[in-house]
Amino acid sequence: MNANLRRLFNAINGSEAYNIASCAVNRGAENRGIIFHSASFPESGLEKKIIVEKKTRKKKEIIVAEALQKMQCENNMYQIFPKIYQVHQKRRETSIFMEYVEGVESKFLRQEGSVGPLILALLTLSNWSFTPILRPKKITLIFTTLSEILTIASTLKLTCIEKWALLKFMLMSVGAMIRLPVILAHGDLSLQNMAYNKFTQELRFIDFGSLTYSFMGSDLKNLFRCRQLLHFDFYVLTYKYAKASGFRESDLVLSVWLADLRRCSSRIRKAKRRSLADDLVREKKAFKAILTEFDIQGRKKTR
């Protein structure tokens, strides 16, 4: 691997790499670890170059990485993700070598100034035609989304107000899903999975292992969940996103809530299967909190 890493550094920079060092972090079940490799290039005057190596066993992530590597070589449009240098497959796991993206995360991305670059990146992603991931038919996506949520909702002890809110929400969501397009979505968009470079004024998505096709607006579900951490009103984001995309803000907001409800439903099902009591309680509260938010926002608009 050291020889392969040296060849990779040399190919990227075009000169001999020296003082190669590595630092490993973040190991999990599917994500087998992230390693930061650094090297110096005294011949070209470059003090340090960093390459990120991500080890994974996820077949989808490997397929996406290989497709991105090919697409990035052909078109700069695909640079909203880190540049993929090499996908090195081994028997038990695969190493994805990619560009190290410099940028700030928490400070700027929580400010209202990050809304514009974020929307631009989301609209760029939505225009992709990404054949490695199968695009589902809209009617199939509507049916699976509604069935997953209603199946879990039937097992929860909802109050009469919550049941009425759920019924009204689902009826309105059907119309929103019919009007909104099915687009390529990041799938796990969060503050930790974005980086903003203040010098180039570009926002980049760091992770790509959860890329999927979903309804426009669904990518904002994580930001909705952590909206208390944002230094601006979350609905400023949905308003500007609607204005830039040409779709109704109400439909985008419903799409955000719908995606979060579907995630809650999935996590409740997993928590029940694995007997995870704390996770079950947390996701049930989150499920009901979305219905409460829907009710509150609905009352504000009727005033």
pLDDT digits (tens, 9 = 90+) for 184-230: 999 998 888 888 877 777 888 988 888 999 999 999 999 999 888 88
pLDDT tens across 159-169, in order?
999 999 999 99
- Of 71, 99, 127, the one marking the end of a domain is 99
**CATH number of domain containing 190:** 3.90.1200.10
Beta bridge partners of 194: 205
Same domain, 84 and 125: no
Q: Specify whether the CB–CB gap between 99 and 168 falls below 8 A.
A: no
Instruction: Mark whether 187 and 286 lie in a shared domain.
Output: yes
Q: Is the same domain home to 72 and 28?
A: yes
Do 169 and 237 fall within a single domain?
yes
Q: Which long-range contacts (CB under 8 A, 24 or more apart) does 267-272 make?
A: 268/152, 268/155, 268/156, 269/152
- Euclidean distance between the first and final Cα of the chain, in Å? 65
The residue type found at 165 is A
Examine the pLDDT at 30 and tell me if it is beyond 70.
Answer: no
Residues 75 and 113 in one domain: no
Q: Which domain holds residue 37?
A: 2-99
Give residue 129's identity as a one-letter amino acid code: S
Average pLDDT of the residues in 292-297 = 90
Q: Please tell me the pTM assigned to this model.
A: 0.88
